[in-house]
Structures are given as structure tokens and as C-alpha cells.
Structure 1
Amino acid sequence: MTKIKDPATSRAQTPRMARLPSPAMLMRAPHRLLFFIGAGNLLLAMLWWALWLGALRGLWTPLPPPLPPAWLHALLMQYLVLPSFIFGFLLTVFPRWMGQPELPRRYAPVGIGLFGGQALLIAAACGWTPGLWPGLLLALAGWSAGLIVLGRVLKAAGPNRNWHARACYAALLLGWLGLLLFMAVVRGHATLMPVTVALGTFGLLLPVYLTVAHRMIPFFANNVVHGYVPWRPLRWLAAMWALLMLRLLLSALQIDNLLWLADAPLLMLSLQALWHWWPRGPMPGLLAALFLALAWLPISFALYLLQDVGQLLGHPQLLGRAPLHALAVGLFGSLLVAMVTRVTQGHSGRPLVMPAVAWFAFVALQAVAIMRIAAELMPDAYAWHFAAAIGWLLALAPWVVRLGWIYLSPRRDGKPG
């Protein structure tokens, strides 16, 4: 009779050297490499931003960057930091969504482009101007490589109409266009900067986040909540996409007095989804974090709608960038911590629980989001911006260190990947 080996015993019998962290582990799965790069990009981009905000407080005198720092901040966060995680996730799940084999190791150029591009752009932001264009071109090359790899998966799937995959790919194409437009901004077409920001927010990030949430959140809840009824009608996703494209168009054309036409129904549809998705019974902490993060979606659009009302009443930019940062820090940041933690736990052979370090990052990030929103209403806004940037670093640094260790280490259960 064949004996079944206990995984714990197998691990104990594995030579210690085989279980030590190694850079070679990063190439075992797309999420390992891209999440590792995303974690590094996350801290580096915010460290530079915190240093710049500190310089505005007179703490030191930096070398002048080649572009307005706010532009570079938007570029790094929208087109390099969060997309590193997005590509890592999609390169992992695209083949599974469409019944294709796992990807061969062709995703290294994506990581090289996103990490190398950001490194050069941060060097340019710190005053080394020659790094600007090589950084932009390397970032675009990484994006292009990712689109090619994912496009091949879509093509191989043939008539498989996986609308979630196609929607995510469409959002990535809009993101690629936004990065291209930023290059035009650098060439002197400054009027395109609002279009670039709008594409990053309403063309790339929010469509990807909502599409993934529509597919995965009900699936996660159905697996662990007794009696849960999954709700994910495609008509809801199609309506959200249509409204986001309207929001994108109005934002890009700066027709601010009509933004309520998109924001009001986006608020209502956000509340509808949260109501249907939220479990009516007890749920594990990892799932609770996902739903608490999703609560920022209607909060963000409520702030956008309040800003729209102010615009109609003759008070433009009533809340400044508070609605944008409710999305960026509240929704995108919180969901990033919750979703990346879940993927990392599951794909490293660990229990599907929210570790203490992840809870610390998640809770602290809620405080950072509130600080960044409140900053728009304070007399010394940049002091609050600086405090929020420091808070971001303190909140996420321990979580990032833990992630890096896991991605460099073998799976705990001894399985490949």
C-alpha cells in the first residue's frame, strides 16, 4: 500500500538550502515577479513623494525635477505602481479564466519595463534629467510586452467570450494610450495632462478594479459564507463601464458642469453592488477586508457628486482632490492590500487568513485616506499631504517586507508555483 506523505514531513525533509529565499523564485509564477516589483515600486514612489513634500516644508533643498512633481506623482502611481500588481494578477488568472495552460516564462520583460522605467523616472524626479525619456520608453516597452502576452492568451482562447478578460484588456489598452499621451505632455502638450489623469483613473484603474471585483468578490464570498447568493449580472458591469467612459470623456474635455450625469448613477450602481455583494452573516477577516475596502466606492462617488453640486452652485473644486484620493488611497489602496494578501496567502500554500501585518497595513491605510481627504479642507493642506505620505510609508512598509520574503521563498506546501 502506497503511503501518503504528510506535507509538513516533506518540508522537514527538504534540504534547508532549498527552502531559503532566492531571487530565482521570482520566475516561478507571474504574480511572484510582478507583485515583488509592485511592492518595491509602491514604497519607492511614495518615498520620493514624501521627500518632495518635505522639501516644500523647507526640510531640505532637492534638485529641480524636469516636470512638475504632481505630474510625476500621478504618472508613477497610475501607470507604474498599481499596474505592476494588475499585470501580475492578470498574467496569472487570464489563462485560468479562458481554460488555457499557464504562461511560459515570457513575462520578465513586463517586470523589467515597469521596474526599470520607474527607477529611471524617480532618478529624473530627483534631478537626473537624462533619465526621463529612457524611463518613459522603458515603461512603455514593459506595458507593450504585457499587452502582447495577454493578447496572445485572448487570441488562443478563440471564440471564448470571457467578458471579464476582454474588459480588463480594453482597460489596459486605455492605460497604454494614457502613457503614450504623457509622452506628448513631456513634448510640450501640457493641455493633455488632464486627459492623461482621467485615462489613468476612469479608463484604466477603476474599470480594472471593478471588473475584477465583479468576477472575484462573489466567488470568494460564495466559497466561505454559508448560504451566500452570488450576484454578478453582466448588465451591471456594462452599465458601470458605459458611465465610466462618459465620466472619462467629460473629465478629459473638462466639461465639469455635466459630470453629475455620470457621477449620480455611478453612486447608485455602487450602492446597489455593495448591497448585493455584502454577506448577511459572519465572514472571515480576509473577506471582511475586501468588503470594507469596497465601501470606499460609493463614498468616493458621493464626494464626486458633492463636488459636482458645488460646481453647479458656482463653487468649482469645492473638495479639491478629495474625491480622487478617496478612490486612489481609500478604494485602490485598501483593495490592493486585501486582494494581494489573499492571492499571496493562497499561492504560497498559506492559510487564507488576514495576517496581523496585513491588518495593520489595512487599518492604517484607512487613517491615511481620511487624512488625505481632510487635507483639502485644511488651511495648511501640504502639511497634511506630507503627514499622509509618511503615514502611507509607515502603514505599508512592514506588509511589503513580508510580501518580498514570501515571493523569494518556496511555497510552504511544497507545490510548484
Structure 2
Amino acid sequence: MPPIPRYRAQASQNPVAIFLSAGFRPFFLFAALWAAVGLPLSIAYLEAAAELPTRFAPSLWHAHEMAFGFGGAVVAGFLLTAIPNWTGRLPLQGAPLAGLVALWLLGRIAVLTSNSAPALVSAALDLAFPAVFIFVVAREIATGRNWRNLPMVAALALLFFGNLLTHLEAMDLAATGAIGARVGVATLIMLIAIIGGRIAPSFTRNWLAKNSPAEVEPAPFGALDRFALAATLVALVAWVAFPDAGLTAAPLIIAGAALFLRLIRWRGVSTRAEPMLFVLHLGYGWVPLGFLLIGGNELWGVAGPAAPLHALTVGAIGTMTLAVMTRATRGHTGRPLLADRWTAAIYVAITLAAILRIGAPFMGEHYFAALAVAGGMWSLAYGLFVVLYFGMVTTRRLHQTA
């Protein structure tokens, strides 16, 4: 995969025009804002400390908004920024981009207030964004004849399907909410396995060539990488279909081991001096760890299923999205691809959130305190992104080359 494209914002001084000049600007900002605010709402709803005007049950609303609300916005921001580089076409911007963002916002409102409207209306309003986004991506790829990235359309279709399954449960039509949420998480993890597996070694190779040419380069894509990705697909399909079956542990452990071997061949340890690059390896590392924890837990039942699952959600998805959002935002707005201390604090906060969420079941009487701190660290990480990167996504690109 080529690097995420860099292009100049619109020449207009109008802040609205600048904000709507590239997909990463509104979607990364709103994704981070919803992550920071939505999780505390989820925790309050789950703990019966607050009532929300939604027809979704607490656990289902939490899973839906993290996978399809927050996750959908991150995927949109990334793809709308990457596709122009893949196709050579201009990015979606201005009124069309504003319309897409409005559909996403409408979906969040529709799900949150779904008790106040017919279930079918709420579902239609929420599903409008992924449906239109599939059309936008498919059109761009087809027009640009960029068939290599056509699997991105399949991934978006899976996110739409998983979203639909959660709505069927909210409408009391089928008990498909849990499998729908797993479809969403599995799709996001597969995207990390594929895309993260391209950008992490590529950026590392470039950085080592410039800063440490004596170091051994990351291994090129080969048989191990193909096996690891195939094993990941098999493991995710098994987990989605049979999450509680003991036999599912085997493909998860095999995939975890293969992904871990793949990761260590990328020379991530050599990048520890640059947090903005090292965090890509850290984020990817949560995927094999999550597979190994879920598979091991299926065999030995050390903890409930939620704890190891959060290695994939808080760990892999939470960390990798922040890694990509900070890097892409700085690069596309003309800033150096270097993490200042506050950006490094974002990475520390999300790492602590993952560790505490996974470790909470082993903290005895401090379980709920660990959950609260983990949630606080998650909100802190994404809240810091909103505060620190708001100026970057709402102002014109700097003239310097990132």
C-alpha cells in the first residue's frame, strides 16, 4: 500500500471550507470526541447510573457505538484520505463531505434517541451513513480502476451487515446483537492486520534508512505474512461464528503466534526512540496478544470473556486508531512526523487503559476502581487528541513539508 496521500487544503481562508477540505479533518475529530464522551456514557448506562433514551440494551449500545459509531468514523477518515492516493482522483470535500459527516452525526442521534422514534426509522437513519459510504468508496475505486483495493468495499459491507444485525435485536426481531458486534470488531481487526501490516514495516524501513542505516531492515512481505493473514481470517471467522466453542481456541492461538512472528520481523524495537512510529508496532502487537489471550482463556477459563476481548478493542483498535490519526493529521497538515510530549501522553494513556481493562478481573476488590481508571485513561487519550489536534484539523496546512 502506498503511503497515505498528502495534498494541500483548499486555498480558502474560510474555516468551514478548510475543515471540509479532507475527510480526516471532520471524521478524525468527531471520532475522537465520540470516543471520549461515549465511553463514560456507556459505563454509566451499563452500571445503571444513568438512563439513556435508546432502545438498545446497555451492552449492545456500548458495542454498537464503539464498533460502528466510533469505528465507522475512523475508517471513513482513513479511507477518504487514502483513496485519492490510490486512484489519483481529488478527495471528497466541501458539500459532499459535509453531507457524509451529517449522516454519521444523524446516526449517532438516531441510535441514542431510538426510544423516541419507530425502530425502523432509527435503524434506517443509522444505516444511511454506511450505505452511502459504501457507494462513495466503490465509485471512487471503480472510477480510478483501483481494483487492488476493492476488498475495502467488502470490509465496509461487513460493517454494514454487522450494524444491521444489532438493529434487528434492538427491534426485537432476532437475537443477533452479539454476533453483529463481533462482526464489527472482527472487521476492524482484519483491517488492522492488513493495513497496519503494510504501513508499519514501510514507515519503519523509511525511518531506519534515514536515521539508522546500519540497522537490519524490516523483512519484506513473504510466505509468513500470507500465512499469518490467512490464519487471522480463519480465526476471526471461527470466533464470530462460535465464540464459546473450545475448538475456536486453536485457530486463535495459531493466528496469534503467526502474527507475533510477523511483528518481530519488522524491527519495531529499533524505533523506540520515535514514539509516533513505535506506537504503530505497539498497536499491531495487541492483535496477536488479544488472539492468544482469547484462545488461552477458552482453554483454561482464567477470566470472563470481556477481559481478553478488550485486548483487541481497547488495545488494538484503540491504540492503532490513535497511532494513525495522530500521524496522518500531522503529516497532512504539514507538521513534522514527531511526537511531542503531549502526543506521547496520548499513547501512554491508551496503553494504560488497555492494561487496566484486561487486568481488572485480577484486581479483586479493586475491580470496579480499575474499570473506572481504565475508562478514564481511554477518555483522556481521545480527549487529548481533540484538544491538541483541533487546531491542526481546523486550520490550513503549513507550508513546510512533513
Which category describes the TM-score, using the shorter chain as reference length?
A: 0.7 to 0.9
Distance change in 2, residues 1:284/1:254 (3 Å): closer
TM alignment of 1:124-273, pairs within 5 A: 124=114, 129-130=116-117, 134-158=121-145, 160-162=146-148, 165-202=149-186, 204-226=187-209, 227=213, 228-229=217-218, 231-233=220-222, 236-237=225-226, 239-241=228-230, 243-254=232-243, 256-273=245-262
**Do the aligned residues in 1 keep the contact of 2:179 with 2:240 (CA within 8 Å)?**
yes
Question: Secondary structure at the residue paired with 1:295?
Answer: helix
Alignment counterpart, residue 297 of structure 2, candidates 301, 307, 327? 307
Question: Secondary structure at the residue paired with 2:117?
Answer: helix
Q: Which runs of 5+ in 1 are unaligned?
A: 1-16
- Structure 2 partner of 1:70: 59
Question: Secondary structure at the residue paired with 1:354?
Answer: coil
Distance change in 2, residues 1:285/1:391 (3 Å): closer
Residue 413 of structure 1: how far off its partner (Å)? 1.6
Alignment counterpart, residue 36 of structure 2, candidates 32, 43, 67? 43
Q: Per-residue CA shift, 1:286-329, capped at 9, x if unaligned?
A: 1112122222222212211211212xxxx4x7342112101111
Could you tell which deviates more after superposition, 375-384 or 24-33? 375-384
Alignment counterpart, residue 390 of structure 1, candidates 376, 382, 390? 376
Q: Cα RMSD over matched residues? A: 2.7
- Structure 1 partner of 2:263: 274
Q: Per-residue CA shift, 1:95-128, capped at 9, x if unaligned?
A: 312444434543333311222211332345xxx5
Which letter does structure 1 place at the counterpart of 2:383?
A
Say whether residues 1:296 and 2:249 are aligned partners.
Answer: no
Which letter does structure 2 place at the counterpart of 1:209?
I
Percent identity among equivalent residues?
24
Q: What count of residue pairs does the alignment treat as equivalent?
A: 382
- Structure 2 partner of 1:340: 325
Residue 414 of structure 1: how far off its partner (Å)? 7.8
Q: Per-residue CA shift, 1:27-54, capped at 9, x if unaligned?
A: 111111211221222223113124335x
Say whether residues 1:114 and 2:104 are aligned partners.
Answer: yes
Residue 394 of structure 1: how far off its partner (Å)? 2.6
**Do the aligned residues in 2 keep the contact of 1:375 with 1:384 (CA within 8 Å)?**
yes
- Structure 1 partner of 2:385: 399
**Do the aligned residues in 2 keep the contact of 1:114 with 1:142 (CA within 8 Å)?**
yes
In 1, Cα distance between the equivalents of 2:124 and 2:369? Answer: 34
**Do the aligned residues in 2 keep the contact of 1:348 with 1:411 (CA within 8 Å)?**
yes
Which letter does structure 2 place at the counterpart of 1:368?
A
**Do the aligned residues in 1 keep the contact of 2:53 with 2:112 (CA within 8 Å)?**
no
**Do the aligned residues in 2 keep the contact of 1:320 with 1:376 (CA within 8 Å)?**
no
Distance change in 2, residues 1:400/1:253 (3 Å): same
- Structure 1 partner of 2:8: none
**Do the aligned residues in 2 keep the contact of 1:168 with 1:207 (CA within 8 Å)?**
no
Which letter does structure 1 place at the counterpart of 2:267?
W
Say whether residues 1:32 and 2:25 are aligned partners.
Answer: yes
Q: Per-residue CA shift, 1:148-173, capped at 9, x if unaligned?
A: 11101221233x442xx233322111
Residue 136 of structure 1: how far off its partner (Å)? 3.3
- Structure 2 partner of 1:11: none
- Structure 1 partner of 2:15: 22
Alignment counterpart, residue 314 of structure 2, candidates 329, 336, 340? 329
Residue 335 of structure 1: how far off its partner (Å)? 1.3
- Structure 1 partner of 2:4: none
Could you tell which deviates more after superposition, 236-245 or 282-291? 236-245
Distance change in 2, residues 1:156/1:251 (3 Å): same
Q: Which runs of 5+ in 2 are unaligned?
A: 1-11
In 2, Cα distance between the equivalents of 1:382 and 1:64? Answer: 25
- Structure 2 partner of 1:14: none
Distance change in 2, residues 1:243/1:366 (3 Å): closer
Residue 143 of structure 1: how far off its partner (Å)? 0.8
**Do the aligned residues in 2 keep the contact of 1:175 with 1:199 (CA within 8 Å)?**
yes
Could you tell which deviates more after superposition, 72-81 or 179-188? 179-188
Distance change in 2, residues 1:250/1:215 (3 Å): closer
Which letter does structure 1 place at the counterpart of 2:91?
E
Distance change in 2, residues 1:221/1:254 (3 Å): closer
Residue 250 of structure 1: how far off its partner (Å)? 4.5
In 1, Cα distance between the equivalents of 2:355 and 2:60? Answer: 23
In 2, Cα distance between the equivalents of 1:50 and 1:187? Answer: 23
